[in-house]
Structure 1
Amino acid sequence: MSTITTKDGTDIFYKDWGSRDAQPIVFHHGWPLSADDWDAQMLYFLSQGYRVIAHDRRGHGRSSQTSGGHEMDSYAADVAELTDALDLRNAFHVGHSTGGGEVVHYVARAKPGRVGKAVIVGAVPPVMVKSPTNPGGLPIDVFDGLRKALVANRAQFFIDVPTGPFFGFNRPGAEISQGLIDNWWRQGMMGGANAHYECIKAFSETDFTEDLKAIDVPVLVMHGTDDQIVPYEDSAVLAVKLLKNGTLKSYDGLPHGMLSTHPDILNPDMLAFFKG
């Protein structure tokens, strides 16, 4: 099992497939999942000749269940240590949901030459929670509700989320995949309850506005218009306006978990962006 140990003693698990001489793509998973959530993308881009890398965020998957560090500064620092350890140059970084926030926070701080392009999918930036400066955001009560459900019965909560809004399986006529639901639950239950609890604050209250403004590399913003987890109008539409070199690609009617439900649509679009 491949791991690096960070400066604060955290073991970060990662997968690294493909030729070391190939163009690297680094994948950043969403809450409360793991590197396994990228199977459909890693296999696709591996077959296209890329080097594909995905890590488990601290407190998630097979990485250390740490007592702290469950905020964006630590997440981005862990990514920086991983990319340094692997000496990745001109890498493409792809993040989903919370992982999109991690990508934005990391890329805004990355060493020169480390990052070539970035993709954020159903991502949390600029900021999710409602405030006077973000009137279209979600009320804090929504995130308090997530915390309450996690504490009350995490195992059931991690069934309810993928069965319902995450993949859009609560929509009329949805083609439900029990395998996706079970795999979501499996990944979630691998991680630490404390990390998942604290990460809710990280993904909902972190303001990525200045990070987005600071990024110079090309960024593709991909978002489903029927995203029930990260509302389209208060995320992708606002984020792309803050980027110096951002492109918005919207997917009519697709859900938050569209990377898993519709990889046949999203993967080729990412490939075209990488080759462009």
Structure 2
Amino acid sequence: MPMVTTDDGVEIFYKDWGTGQPIVFSHGWPLSSDDWDTQLLFFLQHGYRVVAHDRRGHGRSSQVGDGHDMDHYADDLAAVTAHLDLHDAIHVGHSTGGGEVVRYLARHGESRVAKAAILSAVPPLMVQTPDNPGGLPKSVFDDLQAQLAANRSVFYRNLASGPFYGFNRPGAEPDEAIIENWWRQGMTGGAKAHYDGIVAFSQTDFTEDLKKITVPVFVGHGDDDQIVPYADAGPLSAKLLKNGTLKIYPGFPHGMPTTKAETINADLLEFFRS
């Protein structure tokens, strides 16, 4: 399997298909690069080179016990882009991956980057603080960690079959294959990485990172996101970015790149080509 070894000895698995301008995809918690399959094939067929990696502790990358924080996530992404010598790249991040992209751009600069897109993303800050009164109480994330520690398999099954894709909404028709694929990806990764990752995605403040970014950034968020409530995420990120384009998707769930792929892919393609 294609791997790059980071400076601290972690093996990061990646996919690298096609030629042309590179698009680099950063996945959400607790998934893997497989979550981008629909996007990888779509953009490959539109003449792009597509790259996606498994975050440390996730998927096929090393299940290490430490380094599960945004700085390491960004550094691991930088290791992939340097290893592949990517230039003029477009970075796309979903959920936690959106935070990873924002931290990467702020921490490693934009010399290799043309544009970015963050979807249902965790920035600027998820947890409630005196400066972020619209955030979710820390107890919400403590409960997620408790459920993960008690029975990760059951927790992941319930999350995928419920709020992640909006399958718990009245009239929704749960897709068993989507639920099983989410569960499969989650269970392939490491429990320690996922446990620590809850702190990483909920308590990292990206406010100053967003202010540093100058490349054009597409910010997409569904207004029925039950995982990262959009009012305290997408609109606030777009305001902090120097060159942000905000699009709110009425009724779309957190996992919209999967269940609403046709719409999301078309909008991303239009933004990339503009």
| TM-score (normalizing by structure 1) | 0.98
Q: Please name the residue that 1:7 is paired with.
A: 7
What is the CA distance between 1:172 and its match in structure 2? 1.0
Q: Please name the residue that 1:230 is paired with.
A: 228
| Alpha-carbon separation, structure 2, partners of 1:140 and 1:146 | 10
Pairing 1:50–2:35 present? no
Q: Please name the residue that 2:71 is paired with.
A: 73
3-state SS in 2 of match to 1:238:
helix
| Alpha-carbon separation, structure 1, partners of 2:241 and 2:110 | 18
Q: Please name the residue that 1:114 is paired with.
A: 112
Pairing 1:100–2:101 present? no
CA RMSD of aligned residues (A): 0.6
1:149-190 CA-to-partner distances (Å, cap 9, x unmatched) read 000000000100010000000001113210110000000000
1:126-164 CA-to-partner distances (Å, cap 9, x unmatched) read 000001000000000000000000000000001000100
| Alpha-carbon separation, structure 1, partners of 2:251 and 2:76 | 34
| Alpha-carbon separation, structure 2, partners of 1:173 and 1:15 | 37
| Alpha-carbon separation, structure 2, partners of 1:253 and 1:44 | 24
What residue ranges of structure 1 are gaps of 5+ in the alignment? none
Q: Is the 8 A contact 2:94 2:119 kept in 1?
A: yes
1:29-66 CA-to-partner distances (Å, cap 9, x unmatched) read 00000000000100000000100000000000000001
Identity %: 64
| Alpha-carbon separation, structure 2, partners of 1:90 and 1:49 | 15
Q: Please name the residue that 2:246 is paired with.
A: 248
Deviates more, 1:171-180 or 1:260-269: 171-180
Supply the AA of the counterpart residue of 2:241: L
| Alpha-carbon separation, structure 2, partners of 1:147 and 1:263 | 29
| Alpha-carbon separation, structure 2, partners of 1:54 and 1:216 | 23
1:218 paired residue among 209, 216, 221 = 216
Supply the AA of the counterpart residue of 2:148: L
Change in Cα spacing, 1:112 to 1:167, as seen in structure 2 (3 Å) is closer
| Alpha-carbon separation, structure 1, partners of 2:107 and 2:130 | 27
Q: Please name the residue that 2:17 is paired with.
A: 17
What is the CA distance between 1:67 and its match in structure 2? 1.2
Pairing 1:39–2:37 present? yes
1:182 paired residue among 174, 180, 183 = 180
Change in Cα spacing, 1:148 to 1:112, as seen in structure 2 (3 Å) is closer
Q: Please name the residue that 2:237 is paired with.
A: 239
Supply the AA of the counterpart residue of 1:183: N
Q: Please name the residue that 1:59 is paired with.
A: 57
Q: Which runs of 4+ in 1 moved over 6 A?
A: none
| Alpha-carbon separation, structure 2, partners of 1:95 and 1:173 | 29
| Alpha-carbon separation, structure 2, partners of 1:179 and 1:236 | 29
User: What is the aligned length?
Assistant: 274
3-state SS in 2 of match to 1:197:
helix
Q: Please name the residue that 2:125 is paired with.
A: 127
| TM-score (normalizing by structure 2) | 0.99
Q: Is the 8 A contact 2:3 2:11 kept in 1?
A: yes
| Alpha-carbon separation, structure 2, partners of 1:85 and 1:180 | 32
| Alpha-carbon separation, structure 2, partners of 1:125 and 1:112 | 18
| Alpha-carbon separation, structure 2, partners of 1:249 and 1:116 | 20
What is the CA distance between 1:107 and its match in structure 2? 1.0
| Alpha-carbon separation, structure 2, partners of 1:217 and 1:108 | 11
